[in-house]
Structures are given as structure tokens and as C-alpha cells.
Amino acid sequence: MPPTTDLRATLAALPLVIEEVHGAIAPAAVRSYPGGVRPSSGVTLAGGGFVGHGEHVGWDDAAHVAFQGRLVEVPRGRWRVDEFAAAVAGAPPYDRAALEAAAIDLALRQAGKSFLTLADAAAESVRYVVSFDRVPDPVAVARTHPDVELKLDVDPAWDDATFAALARLGRVAVLDWKGSGDVGDHERAHAALPGALLEDPRAGDAPWSASLRTRLSFDAPLTTAADLDRLPTPPVAVNLKPARMGGVLEALACATRCAAEGIAVYMGGMFEVGVGRAQLRALAALLCPDGPNDIAPLLETVRPARLPVDGTAPGFS
């Protein structure tokens, strides 16, 4: 496991000069997003002849309009990254995450360093999965995404034949229950796909089997590192989403705890369509290059076996 504690401290201590703050709303056409258009906006922090970028992941137009309106309140001046993060800590989590990412990007560029070289890590590619929402026939949809691994939103009503057909694909890495199903549903899926992680199954009165617990992961409950203490049972892995956690620093704090407790991590996306997706890949390259990272290309039609990562250029991504 990379030295996440040292990296977090090093990132936090980077000096940062912010002279200007700009933002722009830029929706993107994404077939898999409800309605086919992903609302999106970005923030740019500028200082000393450099710029840093962050992406806001609000789910609707109103969230992005509100974020852009709040940029006038973003403080300027000389900071450390952790001081700036503390100064915007009262903002909504998606705001904080976008601003913190832009601050880290700017600070790295001002220092002439890349995210991966700062961490003394080398990675050329990242494993990823393609995820899609709950559908009546997941096998048919899976066949439209050939030659890549999959993360599926599970319908507890799927029958044994469906799980058997998914198993024959040999590409299902994660079954995402989104808080649904009962223990019997979870055990049935695990029996058919014993190598897949079971993410966010709903805890019930009966315990999960010892075998299932070796494939148990959590996603939605994690908004801070402290949330690890509130999980219904110790997981084998967790899905870290910096945007939901309010920024990279908290995600690194959680990754550090996971490393100490023997919990694997993988990175999850929140429909980032711009610089935020590239930054997720940089984080995944550091923390979990071989994990089932939900960071697949959304706008590109070509999906390679692994995603290439260039960790040499200054900046976050």
C-alpha cells in the first residue's frame, strides 16, 4: 500500500497562491445518464501564472447554478492546501471536493510536481469496471460492453438463471445492491458469483455466511473516515468517492485507515465527465491500480483493457 499518510501530509502542506477564481457550466451528452445529458460545471483557481481545475458533480442544473453563484465567496490569497480546505469546510460536500481538487491541482502546478511523483509512485495503467443501472436483463446489457469487467446494480428479483448467465460471462467484478435484498438474496448471488464483491447489501436480522463476508464491501455509507466505525460488519473492501467525502484529503485519510486495518480500497465515480474523471484515475493509480475501479470512460467509445495514466506532467491529472 502506498504511503497515504505521508502523501496526505505532503499534499496538505503544499503552499498555494490564489489570485482569481472562475467557473463555467458545461453539460455533457452521456447516454447512460438519465435524460442523456449530464449537468456539469467546473472551477478554476489561478495564481502565479498557473491554473488548477476541479469538477462539481451536482446531479441537476440547479446545483451547478448554485455552485457557480457561490464562487464569489471563495477566499483568495496565500495558503497551505489544508488551510484552504479548512477555509471552505463549511461549503456543501460537492463544492468542497471541487474546490479542494482545484487547489491541489494548482498547488502541484505551482510546485512543478505531479500527483504521482509527489507520492513517489509509478503507474502506467489502471484497472476499471463498467457500471450500469438495474435492468431487467443484465446479461443482454453486459453483452453491449464486451471485453471489459462489470459492476452491476442488482435487482433482488433476478432469478437463479440470470445469476448463472452472469457467472458464465466471467466478467462481473462487483454486485451493487444499493441497500436492497435480504440475506437469502445475497447468499444466492454469492453462490453463483463467489469472486464478485457484494457492495452495500442490506443488513438483516440473520448474519451473512463466513464466505460472503470475505467478499463484502461498502460504498454509500462512507462520507468520512470515521464512518468505517459505523459499518454493520467489517468489510473486505470499500469504495471511496472523493466527491461524496468532500475532497481528496478525507479520501486519503480513509484509505490510510483501511491500509492499517487490512481493508482493500477501490475508487468510484459520480458521473464525472471532465477533469474530475482524470483526477479519479490518478488517485486510483496511487491507491488501487488493480482494484475494480468504477472510473470507466463515459464520453469515449473505445474502452481498452486498462486505462493509461500519465503521472509525469505537473498537476493532479
Instruction: Name the residue among 290, 296, 166 with its Cα closest to residue 237.
Output: 290
Q: Where in the chain is the domain with CATH 3.30.390.10?
A: 4-112
CATH code for the structural domain at 125-308? 3.20.20.120
Q: Which residues pair with 43 in a beta bridge?
A: 23, 54
CATH code for the structural domain at 4-112? 3.30.390.10
- C-alpha angle with apex 308: 278 to 288, nearest 5 degrees? 75
pTM of the entire structure?
A: 0.95
State residue 4's pLDDT score: 59
Q: Where in the chain is the domain with CATH 3.20.20.120?
A: 125-308
| Residues of the chain falling short of pLDDT 50 | 1-2
State residue 1's pLDDT score: 43
State residue 5's pLDDT score: 58
Task: Say if residues 224 and 244 touch (Cβ distance below 8 Å).
Answer: no
In the chain the first and final C-alpha atoms are separated, in Å, by 20
